[in-house]
A and B are shown apart, each in its own frame.
Chain A
C-alpha cells in the first residue's frame, strides 16, 4: 500500500530533550515536506526537500532541523523542544514538482512539550 508513515503517533516530552519524528514514504516520491497544524492557524510548512540532500526552509522553520540522506526518509528533529512546539505534525510527499498528483500525507504525530 502506497503510504507515508510517521512515528511516533503520540509523544509527550519535556522541554529541552532532543527528539526525532521519523517519516518514510514507499512511493519513490522526490518531494517531501513537514507541516504543523495548530487550531485557527491551519497547516504551516516547516521544511521541505526537493530531493536527496536538498532541503529548504518553509514558513516556520525556527527550532527545527531536517535531513534527507535517503529518498524515502525525511526525519524532523527538535534539538531543544519548547512548549510552543506543542502541535500536530504532518509529513507529506509528492511525486511531481508541480503538484499534479497532490500530496500524500501521513497520519500525523501529536507532540506535547511540557
Chain B
C-alpha cells in the first residue's frame, strides 16, 4: 500500500515559470511533511517542511501548501531556474516516529 502518492513523475518548466508538484497521503496520523531535493550523484537534502497546524509555509522561492481535509500537500517553486533541475521527493512521518515514508519522486527539468 503506497502511503504517499506523488505526481507528476516528471515535469518540464520554462525558466521563470512556476513548478508545482503534488502529494497525497492516506495515514491521518502523519503530522510532518518534508520535501527533499536530490541532484544527480548526490543524496537527497531537506528543502522545506511543514506541520499540519499551518496551511502554507514559504522559504524564498519555495512554498508548501497543505490541505489537511483533502490529505494533500504540494510544493510550488516560483521563478523556476535551471539550477532547480533535480528530483524532488515528498515525504511524511508521524509524531514520535523517525521513519520517513517517501513518495516516488518527481524529476524536474527547468529549460533555459
Contacts and interface: CB of A to CB of B under 8 A. Distances in A.
Interface of A: 4, 31, 33, 35, 40-45, 48, 50, 58, 90, 92, 94, 96-99, 102-103, 105-108
Please report whether the interface of chain A is mostly helix, strand, loop or mixed according to DSSP: strand
Interface string B91-108: 001011111111111000
A48 B98 contact: yes
A102 B48 CA distance: 9
Interface residues of B, number: 25
Contacts of B89: 42-43
5 contacts: A42-B89, A42-B102, A44-B102, A92-B43, A99-B34
B49 interface: yes
B60 interface: no
